[in-house]
Amino acid sequence: MDPLGARSQFVDTQTLPTWQQQLGDDGKETLQDQNNGLLNQQAFPSPFPFRPDINRKIILFTGDVALLNCTAITNTSNESLNDKNPVSDSIHQLAGPELRDELPKLKGCRTGEAKLTKGFNLAARFIVHTVGPKYKAKYRTAAESSLYSCYRNILQLAIEQSMSSVGFCVVSTTKRGYPLEDATHIAFRTVRRFLENHGNSIEAVVFAVSDTEEPVYKKLLPLYYPRSEEEEKACLPLIPADIGNSEGEPVVPERQIRIAEKPGTLEDDSEEESLESDLGQVGNHAFARMEGDVDKQRKLILQGQMSDAAVQKQHQRNYNRWLCRARAEDLSDIAALKALYQTGVDMCGRTVMVVVGRNIPVTLIDVEKVTRCTH
């Protein structure tokens, strides 16, 4: 069938009831039954309070995301953007062959990224293509972070392109194996936090689901988008302990950089020499022995101009000096980049650092300051 012939199937999002409008007596009774009278026992506030202004932007639509008349809809695919799944197949069928010809120009899409094409014969003006993570319990943290990035990057594109409405499919496909309920928690909290912090220009966010996905979405939506103060209180005990940071991003405490308050500057060598006794043994692994010009020092050793004891003392002093500067300087701006993480120790007890290169603005950052942060 010609794609133009399917235009009568397209759904105007303005005709769909918002999440706030879907609150009914049945929903209230269900929540009250689930919580067994816990409404009046909550002494602490909900991290997702009742916000009717946000609820009026949320729409739950049971149907094909390709039919939505939004500014943009999302397509979930693989890294080559040629995945065969019900959502992608429907979008391609309705968008027409132009979409298939356009995709090679994107040169693929990495997991967690979002890339934009025209909507072609769809009612939507744009299609945002994204790739959800492959889920394995062993690498759950990485999968959570990648799925968060999918939703976050889609919303960021919406802001950059001045989109007023976005239609989300369920990004985690069956092929990728992500548990639906776990994925839904990440989707809801990411969208909620984005609308709170950056979403003034977005008028509507539509979650398009299938008949099998709808019950999970209906069950979890009130946790993140309560439609009354009563519903907020009733859902509070059901909110998971892990709700991410202020943006909804998953947080792993042991991987955060811990920086003490600025203790002041250490100016003379006597204070540097006493630092080791304050901090404990510095260590004698390779990193602790590094200094500015290792090749020059090695050359002096070979020429017999420096004794082993003198070399060791020089190494120790250089390392202590770097450690002093790291302890005395305010490195909060480096930590804010979210580019350096301490992941633990290796088999020899040495600290292992992970550097997220794409988060480091190499043309602007003080590389020497970053090095001190790793101390």
Two tokens, residue 323 = 């450690």
Q: Which residues contact 96 (CB under 8 A, 6 or more apart)?
A: 3, 120, 121
Match 């005990």 to its residue by tokens: 237
Res 353 pLDDT > 90 = no
Model confidence at 266, in pLDDT bands (50, 70, 90)? very low
**At residue 336, what is the residue type?**
A
Report the share of the chain in percent with pLDDT over 90.
56
Residue 134, pLDDT > 70, answer yes
Q: Which H or E run contains 204?
A: strand 204-209
pLDDT for 6 equals: 45
Burial classification of residue 121, based on how many CB atoms lie within 10 Å of its CB (0-12 exposed, 13-18 middle, 19 or more buried): middle
3-state class (DSSP) for residue 367: helix
The predicted model gives 88-102 an average pLDDT of 96
* Percent helix, percent strand, percent coil in the chain, to nearest 5: 50, 10, 40
Q: What pLDDT is stored for residue 301 in this prediction?
A: 57
* Confidence bin at 315 (pLDDT 50/70/90): confident
Tokens of 31: 């929540």
Query: What distance in Å separates the CA atoms of residue 317 and residue 320, rounded to the nearest whole number?
Result: 5
Among 99-108, 248-257, 297-306, the minimum mean pLDDT is found in 297-306
**What pLDDT is stored for residue 278 in this prediction?**
43
Under DSSP, is residue 47 helix (H, G, I), strand (E, B) or coil?
A: coil
pLDDT for position 281? 45
Per-residue pLDDT at 261: 52
CA distances from 61 to 181, 182, 275, 332 (A): 17, 20, 62, 43
What pLDDT sits at residue 252? 73
218-227, 248-257, 301-310: which has the highest mean pLDDT? 218-227
Calculate mean pLDDT across residues 140-152: 95
Q: Check whether 180 has a pLDDT greater than 80.
A: yes
Distance CA 174, CA 194 (A): 26
Instruction: Report whether pLDDT(42) > 80.
Output: no
The span from the CA of 76 to the CA of 168, in Å, is: 9
**The pLDDT value given to residue 341:** 74
> Would the pLDDT of 248 be above 50?
yes
Selection from 213, 202, 222, 212 nearest residue 157 by Cα: 202
What does the pLDDT read at residue 175?
A: 87
Predicted confidence band at 345 (pLDDT cuts at 50, 70, 90)?
low
Q: Mean pLDDT over residues 78-102, rounded?
A: 96
- The sign of the dihedral angle between the CA atoms of 201, 204, 210, 213 is positive
Whole-number Å distance between alpha carbons of 143 and 133: 6
Asked if residues 50 and 228 have their Cβ atoms less than 8 Å apart, the reply is yes
Specify the residue for token string 């190494």.
Answer: 315
Concatenate the DSSP letters of all residues of 119-146 into one string.
-TTSSSSEEEEEEPPPP-GGGHHHHHHH
**Structure confidence by residue, pLDDT tens digits, 272-300:** 444 444 444 444 444 444 545 556 655 66
For the record, the structure tokens of 234 come out as 């009733």
The pLDDT-based confidence of 77 (bands split at 50, 70, 90) is very high
pLDDT at site 296:
61
**Which pLDDT score, from 0 to 100, does residue 26 have?**
47
- To the nearest 10°, the Cα dihedral for 89, 94, 98, 102? -50
What phi-psi label fits residue 248: left (phi over 0), alpha (psi between -120 and 50 degrees) or beta?
left
Reduce the DSSP state of residue 342 to 3 states and report it.
strand
Q: Which residues contact 130 (CB under 8 A, 6 or more apart)?
A: 74, 75, 76, 77, 109, 112, 113, 114, 115, 150, 153, 154, 171
Domains in the chain and their CATH numbers?
A: 3-251 (3.40.220.10), 255-373 (no CATH)
- Residue 346 CA from chain centroid, whole number: 27
Q: How many CA atoms lie within 13 A of 85 on its CB side?
A: 23
Q: Which amino acid is at 31?
A: L
Tens digits of residue pLDDT in 192-203: 999 999 989 999
pLDDT at 334: 66
Compute CA distances 35 → 49, 219, 236, whole Å: 17, 13, 9
pLDDT at 317 over 60: yes
Please determine, for residue 114, whether its predicted confidence score (pLDDT) is greater than 70: yes
Query: Band of the pLDDT at 95, cuts 50, 70, 90?
Result: very high
CA distances, 117 to each of 98, 106, 130, 203, 305 (Å): 10, 9, 11, 21, 66
CA neighbours within 13 Å on the CB side: how many for 71?
17
Q: Which of 30-34, 62-66, 90-94 has the lowest mean pLDDT?
A: 30-34
Which residue type, as a one-letter code, is found at position 38?
L
Enter the tokens of residue 5: 């012939």
User: What integer best gives the mean pLDDT of the chain?
Assistant: 80
